[in-house]
Amino acid sequence: MIRLFSLKQQKKNDEAACKSSQAKKSSPALLRMTKDLNDLNLPPTCEIKFPDPDDLLTFKLIISPDEGFYKNGRFIFSFKVGQGYPHDAPKVKCETNLYHPNIDLEGNVCLNILREDWKPVLTINAIVYGLQYLFLEPNPDDPLNKEAAEVLSTNRRLFEQNVHKSMRGGYVGSTYFERCLKH
C-alpha cells in the first residue's frame, strides 16, 4: 500500500514537472524569441553566443565593426529578454568599456528602440542593426557620455584619436580602457 501511494505521488510530481517544463517552453516570450532567432539575419560583423544553450532569453552579441571610428574593435553586449517580451524591450548592456557618446562607462546604451520607441513589432534583428548603427554613426545629440559627445561635436579628429587610444588600451582623460581590438 505504501509502495502504491509513493508511485502515485511520484507520478503526480512527474506530471507537475512536465507541465511546468511545458509552460516554460511555451511562454509567449520564449515563443517569440524562438521566432526572432529563426528569422535573424546577422550581418558578417555580428555574432551571437548563448552561454547556456538551454536559455534562449539570455545571450551575448559581439559586434566587430569593419568601418568607421570603431573599425577592428570587438564589443560585447549582454541581452536579457524578460517574460514580458515582446511587449517589453530586452535589457541590453555593453560589457566592453568604451569611449562612445551613446554608451556610458557602466555599459548603459542610449538607443531609442530600447526605450521610448520600443514596439512589440520590433525584433532582436532591429536591435542588432540599431546597435551596429551606433558604431557607424555615433549620435552626439542624444548622449549618455556627455564628454565624448562634446568632443565629437567640436573636434572630430580628437574624438577619433580618443576612440583609437581607448581601443588600444589606455587612458582617455582619467578613464582607463581595456584593449578591445580584434588583432
Asked, for residue 44, whether it belongs to a domain, the answer is: yes
Asked, for residue 15, whether it belongs to a domain, the answer is: no
User: Residues 85, 108, 56, 17: is their CA dihedral positive or negative?
Assistant: negative
Asked, for residue 67, whether it belongs to a domain, the answer is: yes
User: Are the C-beta atoms of 60 and 81 separated by less than 8 Å?
Assistant: no
Cell 578591445 identifies what position? 180
Residue at 29: amino acid letter: A
User: Are the C-beta atoms of 79 and 60 separated by less than 8 Å?
Assistant: yes
Position 18 scores a pLDDT of: 46
Asked, for residue 164, whether it belongs to a domain, the answer is: yes
Asked, for residue 2, whether it belongs to a domain, the answer is: no
Backbone angles phi, psi at 58, to 5 degrees: -130, 120
State the Cα–Cα distance between residues 111 and 89, nearest whole angstrom. 11
Position 182 scores a pLDDT of: 83
Closest CA to 75 of 50, 55, 99: 99
Asked, for residue 4, whether it belongs to a domain, the answer is: no
Tens digits of pLDDT across the chain (183 residues): 445 455 455 555 555 544 444 444 579 999 999 999 999 999 999 999 999 999 999 999 999 999 999 999 999 999 999 999 999 999 999 999 999 999 999 999 999 999 999 999 999 999 999 999 999 999 999 899 999 999 999 999 999 999 999 999 999 999 999 999 986
Closest CA to 30 of 64, 56, 48, 53: 56
Asked, for residue 52, whether it belongs to a domain, the answer is: yes
Asked, for residue 23, whether it belongs to a domain, the answer is: no
CATH number, domain of 44, equals 3.10.110.10
Q: Is 110 tagged catalytic?
A: yes
Total count of domains within the chain: 1
Position 25 scores a pLDDT of: 55
User: Are the C-beta atoms of 97 and 104 separated by less than 8 Å?
Assistant: no
Segments forming the whole domain that contains residue 36: 28-177
**42: its cell numbers:** 546577422
Single out the catalytic residue among 18, 46, 94, 110: 110
